[in-house]
Homo-oligomer: A and B are copies of this chain.
């Protein structure tokens, strides 16, 4: 499986993805599920992917080819994040339909987010059916894959006015809870931040299993949860 999460706060966008893929439990690999596209200062997009690896790879290849071949429609021509999500969903459907006759299990979901100069920064979730939804004031985040373990922390701490630094912390702790509780989600992680109105990638990091900052955060969070637990009266 997979866990990917994106947060859209007033100050910008934060994306995080794991990198474990598996086809059966003895066929486990590491693939990044985060893809960046854009022109600095003009437009930036990040795509997170979940689901059948054949479908997600073919979809991302097509997105890249459309940019390279200057197709009529590509992430360089779309005029809104919504149009980008629609475009991505269309490709995903086309790829899935190629294989549908042979059975099911080719489904894939995506999160696409970013900003086009002069427009609002947004995140969208693209369903396997090709349609999409966006985040909201009350739920300023989107998740794909193994989303349940890491949802409680997001529900408690993320608001539209959450600062970027706190949003980063929230996605990393949400990911940490998921990593601890579900073997199908694994390190390394990819983390990416797009600050508002910059149309630049403000930060991009790969977090390896031996990353000391992540390990220290994970340890401190465990300890803080245990301390909080001790402090609760029933």
A positions within 8 Å CB-CB of B: 146, 148-149, 151-153, 155-157, 165-166, 168-170, 172-173, 177, 180-182, 213, 216-217, 220-222, 224-229, 231-234
Contacting pair B234 A157 (CB below 8 A): no
Known: A149-B149, A149-B151, A180-B152. A169 touches B228 (CB 8 A): no
* A177–B232 alpha-carbon span in the complex (Å): 14
Contacting pair B226 A231 (CB below 8 A): no
* A224–B182 alpha-carbon span in the complex (Å): 25
Contacting pair B234 A228 (CB below 8 A): no
Contacting pair B149 A234 (CB below 8 A): no
Contacting pair A169 B229 (CB below 8 A): yes
| Binding site secondary structure of chain A | helix
A-B contact sample (4 more), CB < 8 A, given A216-B233, A224-B228: A146-B148, A155-B180, A169-B234, A224-B231
Pick the contact of A228: B177, B181, B227 (CB < 8 A).
B227
Pick the contact of A181: B155, B168, B216 (CB < 8 A).
B155
A150 closest partner in B (C-beta): B152
A148 closest partner in B (C-beta): B148
* A185–B25 alpha-carbon span in the complex (Å): 31
* A233–B169 alpha-carbon span in the complex (Å): 8
Pick the contact of A149: B152, B228, B229 (CB < 8 A).
B152
